[in-house]
Structure 1
Amino acid sequence: MRRTVWGAGLAFAMGVLLIAAGSRLERGVPEWVLVVPLGVACAGVLVRRRAPVVCLGLGVVAVGLDAVVGPSLGTVLVFTDNLYAAALYGPARLARGLLMVTAVLAIGAGAGAGFWAADWRLPAVIGVQASLVLVTPVLTALLIREQRDRAAVERVRAEQVARLAELDRRAAIAAERTRMARELHDLIANHFSAIAIQSTAALSRTDLDAGTVRKIMESVRENSVEGLAEMRTIIGLLREEDALPGSGDEERPGGEAVRLRLAEVEVLVERVVAAGMAGSLRVEGTVREVPAAVDLAGYRIVQEALTNALKHGESPVEVVVSYEVGRVVLRVWNAAGGERRALPGAGAGLVGMRERAALVGGSFEAGPSPAGPSEAGPSEAGPGWEVVAVLPTEERSPAAAEGMSGLSSQVVGLVFPRGAAS
């Protein structure tokens, strides 16, 4: 506002100096009369930003009065600023209209001067002068207005790009947090579920001898150490800048990189048996190499299904790994409905298993099942809960498949009686 007042005052002072210097047409009126239209035009300068339409109106009035008593050069120059401000700060429709009106007035002024003077040189001079006074300020304002609007559009676009980048960053962070939570859950839930079950059994039995208690405590210690080692492993991977999370390779405390494989689910079944449940593993079909992602997903799904069986299920537990054409089918069944006390859970296990299957393009189902996949039939197995995951695989070459045909329909029996841990 202060700059506007200083500008209006400077314009008025320069106009007065021009009037005093004789930059006007003599009409026989006192010089102070010419100051009145100059003051009206300068009043328009005061409101050029806040009220551009009023600024234009004051300028038109000032030029009209100046044409009657003058005209004077100072008032005409200030009027050019009135036009410029109205076209720059006023509505867009007003700016376009001013360009058309001023162009028509400039052409009309030149044509009128030529008609009345009957001289072809006069229209050119008058037309150029009228264009400089009328068209040039409006055209300059339109160009600046276009650049300003374009800059505003680019600024909005940059803000939108920044917002999208922030949304992408937040989505990536959320996805990574979900993956880390899933990995941590799968790593330690199996071990600590076994610890909880074994310690509960030891505390609830008062008739156990020292040897049995020692075996239970040894199993508890083993699960604790393994759980702590796997926790340290994933923390170490998170701290490494070049680590590739989710690749299926993990580093043991000794520094050796180990890939989690479906072929190692036997160890998971042994842990369940060590926790006091009867368990069995059966491998069907032609055993073959599968992609690392499928190996990791299958291993984790079996691990989590067995953890849920420990926490919520009954004996027996049956695991079947079927190598079929183009896929691997995993089935984990456990009995249900007994007096076994279920351990508390957060409900993240089923969600994590479904996510792992989806990440490799597979499917996942879990729900009540009348009987297990064993050959015993419903009468012996009884009702229970079954987890089924179908994971697509990349088929090996015919030569490699033929070389492993001796492993077709291999059955790994790990049937242990209930209570083996004790």
Structure 2
Amino acid sequence: MAARLPRPHRDDVRIALGGLLGGLVLWGVGLYSRTPDDPISLVDAGWAVLVPLVVMAGCELLRRTRPRTALIIGTLTLTADQLTRGSLATVVMFTDLVYAAVLYGSAGAARRIPWITGLITVIATVWPVAAWQKPEGLLIGAFTGLVTFTPAATGWIVRNHRDTAAAERLRAEQTALLAEMDRTQAVAAERARMARELHDMVANHLSAIAIHSTAALSIDDPKTSRDALAVIRENSVDGLAEMRRLIGILRDGSGDREPAATPTLDGLATLVDGARANGLDVHLDTDHGQVPAPVELAAYRIVQESLTNALKHAGPGRVTVALAQRESVLDVRVTSPYGHRGAPRAPGSGAGLVGMRERAALLGGTFAAGRDGALWAVRATLPLTEGAAA
């Protein structure tokens, strides 16, 4: 089955009809490109100009869908028109075919056509002057350039502008896509940061509340219940205060600042005292100098989460918290007796180790947690300067 020709664009139909009607008007009033005694005109009948006119108008229907075919047929048609008295409308439509072949044709055709038409223009200028030895021969070159090279060069310029605009549009879309990806990643990173802060700030207090409330409910001793309720109240108040600070960050909108009272290593003693009040036998050993604020926050949160895990999982015995600064890194190590309980003393989400590992990784440090003989050891190495972890 023969392939059907593509449907012409509506603008091409308008151009074809306009060229055909213009040529009919010129033919009707008797305006031709050449006089009857012109030696190149082999057919003097006026109606002969209508045949190239109609064919050229038909080529205009293919200017966008089949530009190469339209240009080839149009070139043959223009040659045939030169054998008649000629129609200006046929010549004008041919220039449009040259323009369309460069604009809508393949990239190779768009490069070749301006060079070919330029070469034809040069030949049409030099050859008549050399053959006739008269300056009037330049008019033939000028006319040839106006019909062939000028529309080809115009099409090349327009095509370059169109391709440049398309490239800029694609670049803008890619930039917008990258910006959206960056925004999504920033939102995800901010959510992860908030999740770590929420877990580290609240989990310690809620674990203590769960453990002491269990003791108050299971032991029928008024003094034990009062002591448990006092610890529960203290942890509830502290947890509520930290929750309010975190909510303040969420409402801030900028999302680029830490809580109003960012924990520091100076607060480790208070943190350890709270763990002791919750029933842990904690020994604190610190040896460090001035530490950057991000490292201080990460070390504090790692110790806090380790004590929370020890409160929930560790067996009886001493919990040791040791911080030591060596060269350009801060070593954080927390050890606790390895527990043998069938279930933890308080429920957990299992996100504590993940959060500690993320905090160390964000600073370019290392993190490890696991059983070390009879102990459960948590160790983090936090660089004090960029690149110091290696």
Bucket of the pairwise TM-score, normalised by the shorter protein: 0.7 to 0.9
What's the CA shift for 1:138? 0.8
Identity %: 42
SS in 1 for 2:83: helix
Query: Are 1:182 and 1:352, in contact at CA under 8 Å, matched by a contact in 2?
Result: yes
TM-aligned CA distance change 1:100 to 1:312, over 3 Å: same
What residue is the counterpart of 1:230 in the other structure?
242
Aligned-pair distance for 1:92? 1.9
Residue number in structure 1 paired with 2:30:
21
Partner of 1:201: 215
Residue in structure 2 matched with residue 402 of structure 1 by the alignment: none
Whole-angstrom distance in 2 between the partners of 1:95 and 1:357: 58
Q: Secondary structure at the match of 1:48?
A: coil
1:333 aligned partner: 335
Q: What residue is the counterpart of 1:240 in the other structure?
A: 252
Rate the CA distance shift 1:237–1:14 in 2: closer, same or farther, 3 A.
same
TM norm structure 1 = 0.80
Matched, 1:390 2:381: yes
Q: Return the TM-score normalized by structure 2.
A: 0.86
- C-alpha deviation, 1:304, in angstroms: 0.3
CA pair 328-106 structure 1, distance change in 2 beyond 3 A: closer
The answer on whether the counterparts of 1:313 and 1:340 sit within 8 Å (CA) in structure 2 is no
Q: CA deviation at 1:366?
A: 1.3
Q: CA deviation at 1:188?
A: 0.3
Q: Structure 1 residue runs of 4+, over 4 Å off?
A: 241-244
Cα distance in 1 for partners of 2:238, 2:384 equals 30
Q: Provide the C-alpha distance between the structure 2 equivalents of 1:79 and 1:322, rounded to a whole number of angstroms.
A: 86
Query: Which residue is 1:162 aligned to?
Result: 176
1:12 correspondence with 2:13: no
How many equivalent pairs are there? 368
- 1:363 corresponds in structure 2 to 366
Alignment equivalent of 1:103, drawn from 114, 118, 141: 118
Alpha-carbon separation, structure 2, partners of 1:271 and 1:15 = 99
Letter in 1 for 2:90: T
Q: Is contact 1:55-1:85 (8 Å) kept?
A: no
The match for 1:410 is none
**Partner residue of 1:129?**
143
Where structure 1 has 5 or more consecutive residues not aligned to the other structure, the ranges are 252-257, 371-382, 395-422
Correspondence for 1:174 among 168, 174, 188: 188
Please point out which of 347, 352, 358 is paired with 2:355.
352
Q: Which SS does the other structure have where 2:332 is aligned?
A: strand
Check whether the contact 2:332–2:379 (CA below 8 A) recurs between aligned residues. yes
CA offsets 1:164-190 (integer angstroms, 9 cap, x no match): 111111111111111111111100000
In structure 2, what residue type is equivalent to 1:365? Answer: A
**Alpha-carbon distance between aligned partners in 2 of 1:105 and 1:243, rounded to the nearest angstrom:** 68
Structure 1 position 12, deviation (Å):
1.2
- Structure 1 distance, partners of 2:182, 2:302, is 29
| Cα distance per residue 1:349-383 (max 9 Å; x no partner) | 1121122233344432211122xxxxxxxxxxxx1
Q: What does residue 81 of structure 1 align with? A: 96
Relative contact order (alpha carbons < 8 A, sep ≥ 6): 1 or 2 greater?
1
Question: Gaps spanning 5+ residues in structure 2: where?
Answer: 1-8, 386-390
1 CA distance for matches of 2:155 and 2:255?
58
